[in-house]
Structure 1
Amino acid sequence: MKAFLKRHSLVVGLILMFLYTWTIDLSNSGVLPFKVPFFVAMTLGWGFIFASLFMTWLTLDKNEAVKLFKRFFLWSVGWKWWMVALLLLPALRFAALLLTALLTGVPADFSRPMIRDVVPLDAPLLMLVVPWIIFEILTNGEEMGWRGYVLPRLQAKYNALIASLIVGVIWAVWHLPKFFGTGLNGEGSFAWFTVAHLALAVLYTWLYNNTRGSLLLVTLFHASGNTFGMFMPAKFAVTGGILFNLEIVFFCHRRHRCGPRRGRGASLADGREAGTELKPIKKKSLSIHEETRLKTRRRNNMSTPKVISILKRPAVFILTLTLLLSVVAPVAAGTGGAASGEGMPISLNHAQGPTDAAEMETFLDDLITRQMDEYHIAGAAVAVVKDGQLFFAKGYGYADVENKIPVDVETTIFRTGSVGKVITWTAVMQLVEQGKLDLDADINTYLDFRIPDTYPQPITLKHLMTHTSGIEDRWLESVTQNADELMTEREWLVANFPGRVRPPGEAAGYSNYNAMLGGYIVARVSGEPYEEYIQKHIFDPLGMTHSTVQPQMPADLLPFVSRSYTYADGAFQSFPDYLTQSAVLPSGFHQTSVTDMARFMIARLEGGFYGDESNEMRILEEDTARQMLTTLYTPDPRMRGTAYGMFDFTDNGQWVLGHEGYAPVMLSQLLLLPDQHLGVYVVYNSLGARDGGLTPQHVGFQRAFFDHYYPAPAVEPTQPPADFAERAELFAGFYRAANSHATTPEKVVGLLGGFTIEVTAPGDGTLLIPMEGLELRFVEVEPLYFRQVDGSFTLVFREDDKGNITHLFTDIQPQNGFVKLGWYETPGFNMVLIQVCLLILLSMLPVGVIRAIRNRLASRSARAADSIIFGICLLNALFLVGLAIWFRPMHPSELHSLSLTVEIVMGLGVLAGLLTPVALVYTMLVWKHRYWGVAYRVYYTLVTVAAVGFVWFLHYWNWLGWRY
């Protein structure tokens, strides 16, 4: 058997590699009838390592397997090869990008790099580079298989070029299952993909042979190429890919060979230089890798072929010809049309708003079907009211994909998300007009538990309604799938009080807890449970027969409820049902059809009633309804702010009251234009291919609707003040939204780009702010007051007594003020800190293992010092790997609770933090007693400092301990 395996070691090894990895890939692609667990899927690349080491041990011996594994730690190959491994593939890709732009005349668009499809959070791209490289290195074990196992066996039979091309074909075929799903969208046909890997395989062999078979370098080479590719424009695709591989072929030709040059490169195992004449070695037993190097160098060094002689080789000639022919069609074809969902054309015939329902149907059909296709939305519905009547309503797609049940505007019930808060504040105002509530009274007057007196100013209903209460946001533990975890309203509100983080009235900071308290007060004062009050005093009077806010859907409405969907693996995934804590219902767990919501919009716009004089359905007195359409809070008299539970802003010159909604995993948007007596409500039953945040559906619908029906008026250019250039840097910096979490682990979303904006001064007298997917420019028109250069949005800054800028406010996001961050609070500093700390801490893992093997005779104290710092690094690594596997901060399944597994993982960070002071003590001891040489003592100190930095990082972002 061993003789058979040794004769066919290449084939058997490949079968084992393919068997393990294809099982995972085919299950993820939906080909197999089962799906492997996520933590198993993460080990896909390790299948190459398992198979290679197992076959090497089985066909050769244990020592050969150890030698193969040690190639992962072969780092002493010269700094030039490190530069090649890190920078060559990114440089070639970037050059291809520039060439593509020159050939097609279309500049590269980095607004949607490929990594955004994997990491949809709007984190600054540079912050993701090192984490992605680390992820690639830890999970990608391919190089042990392709270069460590397959290539040496092929080079023992063929020259390096032919061996490389064979590896390239096998390598490409291995990716075939990924074409069954969505893993390689944008890579073109499989034939083109194969050609690309032929060129790449030659380049990998060149690096591998010139670094004495260092798997560390080729793995880093692979990781740097993949990482940079993820940051390329998503539509780089075919033309850029072809040019990229042409560059590879040209580069390989210029290097003359795949093996090292004469007199240069690495030395052989027996000390002789590569390129010298090799004599038979008789008494020394060589490993498969050493035999391969000897044979390869003989073959590759028989001559020094120039480019012209290489091109005479059939394999290279065919490869080059194929690449040159394939470049013609894509370049000639250009880059194609605009992406689906981009800006809709403006209709000058409807510049004063919609007047024709048929025209609106054409417009919305185009807009919403584009959104559904681009963002993978299963179903949607829209309703438009005008002048007290239903103007237009239509459903799109499916309410139930599996059973092919279409969306019906009259009966299909969707979750409203936070749009439901508007219903809660309407209920509050009903009790205000009855004299049962006072908007200026301390809310403790109405509660049966007490809000802490953190600040001397009391919190009022006005503060709750305008999100200026200073209570931070809260969404953890809002829902559950375990009925035993359901609590009464009072129990939940008391147990989950998020904390007062700023004085009331200082700044708006959107918080779901505000509406939860508002709903609880409605129930307390009215004497009716919240859900019964809303049904009796709002839904029933308006004839909203397909609406409810019950925690459990009534049986008669259950057949009409739309399913909710995410999109993954090329298909819609039904989101699991959940149980809602009754205390959180007022914050946006209402469910309604779009025509029911149309009735509510009409009542809000038309003085509190729906219908006509013969059939009047009233929910508010006319004065109260008009009052609710006015501004209740503004951070500055020169700008709008917040009305009574809705956000007050202008868009293309139109006064708008609006609110967005997100309820796992549906999206909604409500827009009221009081001056036009117009209301719009749109809802989607799918989160789509993005994971949370303000999605393109929200931004895209509003932008397209206003640009089509209310085109932006011409704006006269404003000249900046003459002295602004001197003051511009006062305003520049990072600002964090006041609704960001201050005391709980949700704060980490700010690190990933959420809740944070950056203001820059480009030097042309304006301020530049990227927001909502746009780059907006503002010019100062009054002290601390800025107006958009080509639009109607405004900014207001606030300064302290010393003239330092402390806050930013904008009507782009009236629900939030923004607090200026200190240098140590910025995402940039924290991402650099964590990346440096991680690199240092992770470097200790292989160093610690090697020292444990080699330094067995060291003193007990020295071994203890090594063990402590190694333990800290290992615990921190397990902590990070655990979070990467089990915690997805913006994914719907993690949105409302932390699993027990995540809590255990957090305990690893706590344990590492407790050991860090011990490492500090040992750091002083190693210098005092000189345990080791100076170099290692310096390194040990750096690792300890990195551990301290990591503890500070976890503490700042509320991940040191269980802070929730």
Structure 2
Amino acid sequence: MKKRGLMRWISLQLVVLILVMMAAGGVSQAAEQGVTPSGIHVSDLETEIETYIEEYKDTTAAVSVAVFQNGETIHEGYYGNGNMEMELKNSTETVMEWGSVTKMLVWVSVMQLVELGEMNLSEDIRTYLPEGFLSNLKYDQPITMMNLMHHNAGWEEQLIDLFIPIGEEVGELGDVLKSSLPNQLYEPGTVVAYSNWGVSLAGYIVERVSGMGFSDYVHKHIFEPLGMEHTALLPTLEDNSWVNEQRDLLKCYSADLRDLGPSRYQLALYPAGMATGTLEDFLLFGKALVPKGRDRSELFRKRETLDQFLSPTLFYHDEKNTPRNAHGLWVDKTEVLALGHGGNTPGASANLQFDPISGIGLVVMTNQSGETVYNIGLQEMIFGKYPEPTDEFQMRNISGVYTQARTIKTGALRLYSFLLTMPFLSGNENNFYVPMMGMELIPVGFDRFLLDYGETVGTGFVSENKNGSPTLEIGVQDYLPKNPIVYAIEIFLILILGLALIYSLYTIIRALVRKLRKKPSEPKNGERILASGGNLGLFFSFLYVVMNVINYETSRNIRLGLILCTIFSAWILIYLVRSIIAFKEWGKHLSSRKIFNTILSCIAMLLNSFYWQWFKFW
């Protein structure tokens, strides 16, 4: 055995030994005393939860909640309505979407294949993929399954064809992945950037290794052993007809109870977030991750595989090496290290969290998109809150401009990266704030801080990148420093875009008013109107692209908008070339100033089109 392999094997055995000793010696002190990690007595938990839900009932559609410990249900409750207009009560037959909690099914599947010796977490994933499948890698460094689990393979964000309307055809998983292959922005292992595509790729590798479709594999090796008879996984939900019918009865709402209608979509990359089912099934899956005592989990042949699965594998770069991820499960540090995953879809939210030591776990399902009162609030109720900030710590200066690592840097949606860029400013009380998000960063250590969003709180850490600049490590992604000059240029481009649109609109309206008043046309007026029309056409074509992305329309609609962007960009360019050729004639016309302004507006539009790559429809 090589030295590195020997050290890794010894480290794994130590982690497993620690977990075994903790479990063998009983659960945590909190569990021995019959209390949750947050300090609530188990016998009082049902009252606490129902009191909490009663407090927020006016902004609640439906919420299903269960708390368990070591395989036993402590509390299970169904509140509100699955359809508020029809007063369809939330019940054991109500099905809701898991969202990204579905990703846990991928990682369980991977660990099952690792246990059988059919997959190696440290192997280059190209070993398991068809020749040339990853055709546009930027870095030579191998990508491993651990990189996919940690979301640090370096993939660019994908927004097109993420959710597909019901009735549209969804191809096979391998074909969908190949057709939506993202660019590789970062060297593997260096930057955490949450990736639906990367998780779905792991699901496809499960298909390749097992010889089964991913949905078939999960049904046979997870759902059936656990008795999960009311959960579907395919984009159409056709793998469980009962779930498919029940999903049609559900209506969805925003966090503030705005009616979203059915909000039913197909997820082409379905291993990343398509699971839909009842709370009872969701609870069965959660219990299997923390089985009673030292009994074998139904998910794995050996208990050691479960212990390995739950052992941390990615750490924050703080002084204490705080765990960040455990084989694809995200680690949240409050009173305890809680493992799990949250999920959001266009119409639902869900959460599964558990403490492997005390064995206490929580599952939450709601029919409200972006919901935090229960998905975050109940998590804090069970597992405890983040540490209170003090004046003791002076965090290093992190003021500057940052952008989310989970971003788009190439193609026609590059403007998305600008929207994710934000200045972090130094405050007056040893803190930092982000004015664009209404977020405050409060130090609780030299390299740790709280993120106060007003209604919710998170945690993050400060590390250094290769250049010595600070990187903010926040949960499922990093925030990277951005050159302030580049940010200033982008702001300038947006400003001149606005001015160009205003002037183009003014030109057309003024010409229309003059025509209605039967005033004579100004020299070169027709050309200026055509140029201004091209400017507006370019902008509204891109707006059409954005609206199609927001409304989850298919890529062919988006491509049509981008082709129109290209046509209008060429239209504007032709006008500019003609105007430059006729430069010497400007002074002969009284309207030369207007021509000059029109040219400037066209230049502004073209600069934006080329910088943000609105022309890129391929």
Secondary structure of residue in 1 paired with 2:357: helix
2:223 and 2:275 map into 1 onto residues whose CA distance is 11
Task: Label 1:825 to 1:793 Cα distance change in 2 as closer, same or farther (>3 A).
Answer: same
2:286 and 2:309 map into 1 onto residues whose CA distance is 13
- What residue number does 2:307 align with? 626
Which structure has the larger Rg over C-alpha atoms? 1
Task: Label 1:927 to 1:457 Cα distance change in 2 as closer, same or farther (>3 A).
Answer: same
Match among 554, 571, 583 for residue 897 of structure 1:
554
How far the C-alpha of 1:626 sits from its partner, in A, is 1.7
1:943 and 1:732 map into 2 onto residues whose CA distance is 40
How far the C-alpha of 1:740 sits from its partner, in A, is 1.3
Larger RCO (CA under 8 A, 6+ residues apart): 2
1:953 and 2:608 are equivalent in the alignment? yes
Task: Label 1:419 to 1:825 Cα distance change in 2 as closer, same or farther (>3 A).
Answer: same
Instruction: Summarize deviations over 1:574-609 as a string: whole Å, max 9, x none.
Output: 32644454xx22111112222222222222234xxx
Match among 351, 364, 383 for residue 669 of structure 1:
351
- What residue number does 1:107 align with? none
Secondary structure of residue in 1 paired with 2:199: helix
Task: Label 1:773 to 1:427 Cα distance change in 2 as closer, same or farther (>3 A).
Answer: farther
- What residue number does 2:480 align with? 818
2:432 and 2:561 map into 1 onto residues whose CA distance is 43
Report the TM-score when normalising by structure 1: 0.54
Unmatched 5+ stretches in structure 2: 1-33
Secondary structure of residue in 2 paired with 1:437: coil
CA contact (8 A) 1:378 1:572 kept: no
- What residue number does 2:534 align with? 875
Task: Label 1:352 to 1:714 Cα distance change in 2 as closer, same or farther (>3 A).
Answer: same
How far the C-alpha of 1:420 sits from its partner, in A, is 0.4
- What residue number does 2:380 align with? 706
Match among 83, 108, 112 for residue 426 of structure 1:
108
1:441 and 1:422 map into 2 onto residues whose CA distance is 20
Match among 655, 678, 691 for residue 337 of structure 2:
655
Secondary structure of residue in 2 paired with 1:540: helix
- What residue number does 1:399 align with? 82
User: What code does the residue aligned with 2:178 have?
Assistant: V
CA contact (8 A) 1:470 1:503 kept: yes
Match among 585, 589, 607 for residue 270 of structure 2:
585
How far the C-alpha of 1:484 sits from its partner, in A, is 6.6
Secondary structure of residue in 1 paired with 2:325: coil
- What residue number does 1:686 align with? 368
The percentage of aligned residue pairs carrying the same residue is: 21
Task: Label 1:432 to 1:686 Cα distance change in 2 as closer, same or farther (>3 A).
Answer: same
CA contact (8 A) 2:99 2:274 kept: yes
1:384 and 1:569 map into 2 onto residues whose CA distance is 25
User: What code does the residue aligned with 1:798 have?
Assistant: E
2:277 and 2:373 map into 1 onto residues whose CA distance is 22
1:545 and 1:627 map into 2 onto residues whose CA distance is 28
- What residue number does 1:574 align with? 261
How far the C-alpha of 1:446 sits from its partner, in A, is 0.5
User: What code does the residue aligned with 2:471 have?
Assistant: L
- What residue number does 1:451 align with? 134
How far the C-alpha of 1:461 sits from its partner, in A, is 0.8
Instruction: Summarize deviations over 1:36-79 as a string: whole Å, max 9, x none.
Output: xxxxxxxxxxxxxxxxxxxxxxxxxxxxxxxxxxxxxxxxxxxx
- What residue number does 1:928 align with? 584
Secondary structure of residue in 2 paired with 1:541: helix
CA contact (8 A) 1:350 1:708 kept: no
Instruction: Summarize deviations over 1:89-122 as a string: whole Å, max 9, x none.
Output: xxxxxxxxxxxxxxxxxxxxxxxxxxxxxxxxxx
Match among 628, 644, 650 for residue 327 of structure 2:
644
Task: Label 1:931 to 1:718 Cα distance change in 2 as closer, same or farther (>3 A).
Answer: same
Task: Label 1:564 to 1:476 Cα distance change in 2 as closer, same or farther (>3 A).
Answer: farther
How far the C-alpha of 1:371 sits from its partner, in A, is 4.7
2:438 and 2:377 map into 1 onto residues whose CA distance is 11
- What residue number does 2:187 align with? 503
Task: Label 1:437 to 1:499 Cα distance change in 2 as closer, same or farther (>3 A).
Answer: same
Secondary structure of residue in 2 paired with 1:485: coil
- What residue number does 1:365 align with? 50
- What residue number does 1:717 align with? 391
Instruction: Kindly indicate which of the two structures has a greater share of residues assigned to strand.
Output: 2
- What residue number does 1:534 align with? 218
1:480 and 1:379 map into 2 onto residues whose CA distance is 25
- What residue number does 1:25 align with? none
How far the C-alpha of 1:508 sits from its partner, in A, is 0.8
User: What code does the residue aligned with 1:459 have?
Assistant: I
How far the C-alpha of 1:378 sits from its partner, in A, is 3.0
User: What code does the residue aligned with 1:408 have?
Assistant: S
How far the C-alpha of 1:366 sits from its partner, in A, is 4.0
1:480 and 1:701 map into 2 onto residues whose CA distance is 26
Instruction: Summarize deviations over 1:515-556 as a string: whole Å, max 9, x none.
Output: 111111111111111111101111111121212213433234
1:382 and 1:598 map into 2 onto residues whose CA distance is 9
1:644 and 1:771 map into 2 onto residues whose CA distance is 34
Secondary structure of residue in 2 paired with 1:775: strand
Aligned ranges for residues 456-605 of structure 1 at < 5 Å? 456-481=140-165, 485-550=169-234, 551-553=236-238, 554-561=240-247, 563-566=250-253, 572-575=259-262, 577-581=264-268, 584-605=269-290
Secondary structure of residue in 2 paired with 1:676: coil
How far the C-alpha of 1:820 sits from its partner, in A, is 2.3
1:719 and 1:480 map into 2 onto residues whose CA distance is 48
Secondary structure of residue in 2 paired with 1:641: strand
How far the C-alpha of 1:441 sits from its partner, in A, is 1.2
How far the C-alpha of 1:399 sits from its partner, in A, is 2.7
Q: Which moved more, 1:764-773 or 1:589-598?
A: 764-773
Unmatched 5+ stretches in structure 1: 1-348, 688-694
CA contact (8 A) 2:545 2:562 kept: no
Instruction: Kindly indicate which of the two structures has a greater share of residues assigned to helix.
Output: 1
Aligned ranges for residues 193-232 of structure 1 at < 5 Å? none
- What residue number does 1:758 align with? 423
How far the C-alpha of 1:456 sits from its partner, in A, is 1.0
Instruction: Summarize deviations over 1:351-410 as a string: whole Å, max 9, x none.
Output: 843655663333333444555533xx532211111233111111112234455432224x
Report the TM-score when normalising by structure 2: 0.81
Task: Label 1:443 to 1:635 Cα distance change in 2 as closer, same or farther (>3 A).
Answer: same
1:924 and 1:612 map into 2 onto residues whose CA distance is 80
1:778 and 1:906 map into 2 onto residues whose CA distance is 45
2:271 and 2:393 map into 1 onto residues whose CA distance is 47
CA contact (8 A) 1:768 1:775 kept: yes
CA contact (8 A) 2:195 2:406 kept: yes
Task: Label 1:575 to 1:365 Cα distance change in 2 as closer, same or farther (>3 A).
Answer: same
CA contact (8 A) 2:288 2:297 kept: no
Match among 789, 793, 798 for residue 464 of structure 2:
798
